[in-house]
Amino acid sequence: MRRWGTSWETARRTRLDRPGRRRPTVEICLTVPELTESVAHLIDQLARLPGIGKKSAERLTYHLLRIPAAEALALAEAIRKVKENIRYCRICYNLAEEDECAICRDPKRQRDLLCVVEQPRDLIALEQTGVYRGLYHVLLGRVAPLEGIGPDQLTIDALVRRVREGGFRELIMATNPTLEGDGTALHVSNRLADCPVRITRLARGITTGSVLEFANKEVLSDALSGRQDF
């Protein structure tokens, strides 16, 4: 058995009533139940997931303990399958269950249009718009010198090779509109400066539904320089 945090915590709470009145003190004894080794281990593992704090990890653990074994084990099996079967597409580095992802294998995709994104989740977000019908290239990150991530650690070499092989009319840089995302896009466009391919980037500026008076000056200047014809 292992103790989770402090077994016994005594909190002395002083109620500050009106001046001149006697200040009563209330002593509260909180009992934190002991956890078995495996329950504490599951909470520790869940708490390591992004966006899951210790409280949420505890809630999830108690939920998993409550539901039927088959249901809980289906989750464990799904995690195992993903870790064993998912790999990166050999062409675009999207997530795939085979050597090539479903998008690269799709004969209906427009094959002269290439959209460059940082992560597979960015690709999914663009796919959900249903607007883009070209191909993708996933960089698997962005150049971040402060974190020690250089261009060599991304799939930029593979992208440059792919574009130099020809066949693309336009390269759409869809890296995030951050300092690092912009730096990554600039690095890629410099590497392909001598290539006869049009390089564009996603429009930026005022969000639909927002108002001008709350937009900051960077957003407004982006919107002005990227203005379009009616």
- Name which of 138 and 143 has its Cβ closer to Zn ion: 138
CB of 112 to Zn ion, least distance (A): 16
- Name which of 17 and 97 has its Cβ closer to Zn ion: 97
CB of 111 to Zn ion, least distance (A): 12
The span from the CA of 117 to the CA of 35, in Å, is 44
CB of 195 to Zn ion, least distance (A): 21
- Name which of 61 and 94 has its Cβ closer to Zn ion: 94
- Name which of 17 and 99 has its Cβ closer to Zn ion: 99
CB of 118 to Zn ion, least distance (A): 15
CB of 136 to Zn ion, least distance (A): 7
Q: Tell me which residues touch Zn ion (CB under 5 A).
A: 89, 91-92, 94, 101, 104
- Name which of 94 and 119 has its Cβ closer to Zn ion: 94
